Structure 1
Amino acid sequence: MNAPLRIAGIETRHFVLPLSHPMTDATHGVHTEFEVVAVCLESDCGRSGIGYTYTIGRGGAAIRSLIQRDIKTLLLGADASRIEQIWERMWRCLHYVGRGGLVAFAMSAVDTALWDLLARSQGQPLWKLLGGYSGQARAYAGGIDLQLGPDELVEQTRCNLAAGFRAIKIKVGRDKLSEDIARLRAVRDFLGPDLPLMVDANMRWTTEQAIRAARSFRDYDVYWLEEPTIPDDYAGLRRIAREGGLPIAAGENLRTIYEFRHTLEAGIAFAEPDVSNIGGITNWLRVARLAYAHNLPVTSHGVHELHLQLLAAIPNPSLLEVHSFGLERFIKNPPQLKDGIMRAGDEPGHGVQFEWDKLREFEVKGG
């Protein structure tokens, strides 16, 4: 019998990272920076695991505090290989102040570190440990680009195709629907009929507005319409899916498998759990299995370095989102794209190795 993999140490670090240029969407406005909260777990036998979550500029200090002040005491001395047990313990001890929100972000970082530690201790890449289905994922360029006009979008798309992408997503949700239509038309005309083109409204519309927009977009062979309205409006999602005539993707703002159950039953076509905010890999896999039971594929939101491992592991993957909140500048050997495909590799763990020296100038001390 193998000895328990006891957790002996926990370190949490908080960084505020600048974006390469300002970016916009319909709900959050202009983005200029994002936060990363990283967790390093040390076992009693000297092995380590890294996990992290991110925000779009606010909340990182609170997430770090939750981990250091409340979750840390639940972890020290625990057997790191009993991940389901640890997940349930975190959830039950913190649900009264959470059931989502900051708690889900904090749990995501810790849970990811646990899976990384387990995979490293077994000498396996995470995607093989989790199922080992394909070892790769089809990637798309997820623009955060509501500010761009048609010509600028075409130029951005040209650059993305040159970089190896074979699927594109743009933001929609301008004040005038005619402007969204013009932007979408320009990109579809440039792409031609064969490459997937998605649009993302970031919860911008009411149900009626979303139905009207969806109907207006149908002539442009939209692969999916993402987050057309608030995630809590299951009846509205059902109407948009039924009356709008486009496949719906949703889930980046859901925090529990129970919310996903209602969303899938509302008729969405693509489940979109985010490993950085749904409670980590443990809960992400639950959603993937739930989607499988509904005969539906799973896509991703953000942190493509981690989601690559997850989509490469499961039998029902859709496209992997890659956008400008990536960590390529701050990690060793970031995943490479070739002809629309990213491969997960065979390095033990999830493969994300931070270059701490490059991150140091952006670290938030204290807290």
Structure 2
Amino acid sequence: MNNKIKSIVSNHYRIPLAEVLYDAKHGKHTHFELITVEITLESNLTGMGYTYTGGKGGSAIHRLLVDDLAPVLVGQEADKVEQLWKMLNWHVHFVGRGGVTSFAIAALDIALWDLRAKSEQLPLWKLLGGNQTEVQAYAGLIDLNYSMEREQEVIAKKLEQGYRGIKIKVGLDDLERDIQRTRSIRNLIPSDIEFMVDANMKWNVQDAIWIGKAMEDLSVTWFEEPTLPDDFAAFRSIGEQIQIPLAQGENLHTLFEFQAALQTNVLQFPQPDVGTIGGITPWLHVAKLCADRDLMVSSHGMHEMHVSLLAGVPNPGYLEVHSFPIDQYMLHPFQFSNGTARPPDVIGHGVVFDQNKLFSFLLENRFF
């Protein structure tokens, strides 16, 4: 088979959410964005990749991808995935490590892994060595501005759908009000259901410790992103002074940031996001780092992709089913029931977008 990359098509979409969502740092979410790529080989085999945003920054990601990254891939051998990932990083290393660069590289890297799995005639999770057909899943809510009536309605629906874990947003300016709200919500959730809280980097060390201690009697599974993600000294200080396990990962955009976070020795629930860390290649490296520390690896966002990654590694933790419904724009539905998700038993990673559903949200299309 001719593995040389013949062409790349890239699309940028901006998709409205069904309702406005809020969190502590990003504020209002009205849309999410998709940046997709399709890589075609000389053999005409195609691979699909993508990344996403919370509604901002997609144009910058797409410009970097189409102006600087995709052109250098054309003509390369697609099966050299790790080598190509390193090449893309070094190609723009001087102007950006992490951030927009990692998002753009992620879309291309995911497409290359799709091609690798298709060339081997295997589902991605089996290519990775997985033999699990189910992954634990929880519902990740973006609910900071919900009324208690709306909160109760949403949680009841998630429990009815079979979720065995619920994550809520915390991070109101008034700490006393925030803990009262958290207690009220905890009372809506049965004690045998996992309960996670996510502060979206809201607090300084003092406030994070205060609210962490105030939640210690609420059977909280984890306290996510209590402070700025790359202030590792602050993160360590919080973890050493509260009893609730800490989680983070979505805002750690390089392998080196994850290494530093793990070296704090207080990160108990690592959550790499394949769309923000640079793709499947670094995601797998993070999973190995976690395994070396006897930690399970969980996920953030892109549940339709992460289900295959978690099923493919020996140390799967929790799959977050995110509030950005990317899976609603796929041809093959995301499979979830009774608290678990199932990886797609199809060749490749199985994420195929429905272009008829996406077409009206297209902002830009580029071809190489």
- Which range, TM-score by smaller chain? over 0.9
Number of the residue aligned with 1:126: 124
Number of the residue aligned with 1:195: 193
Tell me how far apart the structure 1 counterparts of residues 136 and 249 of structure 2 sit (CA, whole Å): 19
Which amino acid in 1 is paired with 2:133?
G
Number of the residue aligned with 2:240: 242
Tell me how far apart the structure 2 counterparts of residues 263 and 77 of structure 1 sit (CA, whole Å): 37
Tell me how far apart the structure 2 counterparts of residues 358 and 242 of structure 1 sit (CA, whole Å): 48
Please list the CA deviations of residues 3-34 of structure 1 after superposition, one character each: whole Å capped at 9, or x if unmatched. Answer: 45111110000000000100000000010001
**Equivalent residue in structure 1 for 2:86, among 84, 88, 113:** 88
Tell me how far apart the structure 1 counterparts of residues 120 and 89 of structure 2 sit (CA, whole Å): 26
Q: Would you say the 8 A contact 1:215–1:245 is kept in 2?
A: yes
SS, match of residue 81 in structure 1: coil
Number of the residue aligned with 1:109: 107
Tell me how far apart the structure 2 counterparts of residues 133 and 230 of structure 1 sit (CA, whole Å): 36
Q: Would you say the 8 A contact 2:10–2:365 is kept in 1?
A: no
Q: Would you say the 8 A contact 2:12–2:365 is kept in 1?
A: no
Please list the CA deviations of residues 85-129 of structure 1 after superposition, one character each: whole Å capped at 9, or x if unmatched. Answer: 101110111111111111111000000000011111211110111
Q: Would you say the 8 A contact 1:251–1:273 is kept in 2?
A: yes
Q: TM-score, normalised by structure 2?
A: 0.96
For structure 2, list consecutive stretches of 5 or more residues without a partner in the other structure: none
How far is 1:152 from its partner? 2.8
Alignment RMSD: 1.2
Q: Would you say the 8 A contact 2:14–2:363 is kept in 1?
A: yes
Please list the CA deviations of residues 212-248 of structure 1 after superposition, one character each: whole Å capped at 9, or x if unmatched. Answer: 0100011100000000000111111111111021100
Please list the CA deviations of residues 242-275 of structure 1 after superposition, one character each: whole Å capped at 9, or x if unmatched. Answer: 1021100011101111111111111110111110
How far is 1:345 from its partner? 2.6
Number of the residue aligned with 2:364: 365
Over 4 Å off, 4+ runs: none
**Equivalent residue in structure 1 for 2:95, among 71, 75, 97:** 97
Aligned ranges for residues 112-261 of structure 1 at < 5 Å? 112-261=110-259
Which amino acid in 1 is paired with 2:282?
N
SS, match of residue 359 in structure 2: helix
Number of the residue aligned with 1:35: 33
SS, match of residue 23 in structure 1: strand
- Percent identity (aligned): 44
Please list the CA deviations of residues 29-81 of structure 1 after superposition, one character each: whole Å capped at 9, or x if unmatched. Answer: 01000110000000111110000001111221221121211112221111111
How far is 1:133 from its partner? 3.8
Please list the CA deviations of residues 261-318 of structure 1 after superposition, one character each: whole Å capped at 9, or x if unmatched. Answer: 1111111101111100111000000001001111111111111001111111111111
Tell me how far apart the structure 2 counterparts of residues 311 and 340 of structure 1 sit (CA, whole Å): 15
SS, match of residue 188 in structure 2: helix
Q: Would you say how many aligned residue pairs link Structure 1 and Structure 2?
A: 365
Number of the residue aligned with 1:333: 332
Q: TM-score, normalised by structure 1?
A: 0.97
Q: Would you say the 8 A contact 1:143–1:323 is kept in 2?
A: yes
Tell me how far apart the structure 1 counterparts of residues 328 and 246 of structure 2 sit (CA, whole Å): 32
Which amino acid in 1 is paired with 2:315?
N
SS, match of residue 96 in structure 1: coil
For structure 1, list consecutive stretches of 5 or more residues without a partner in the other structure: none
Tell me how far apart the structure 1 counterparts of residues 364 and 299 of structure 2 sit (CA, whole Å): 31
Number of the residue aligned with 1:79: 77
Number of the residue aligned with 1:344: 343
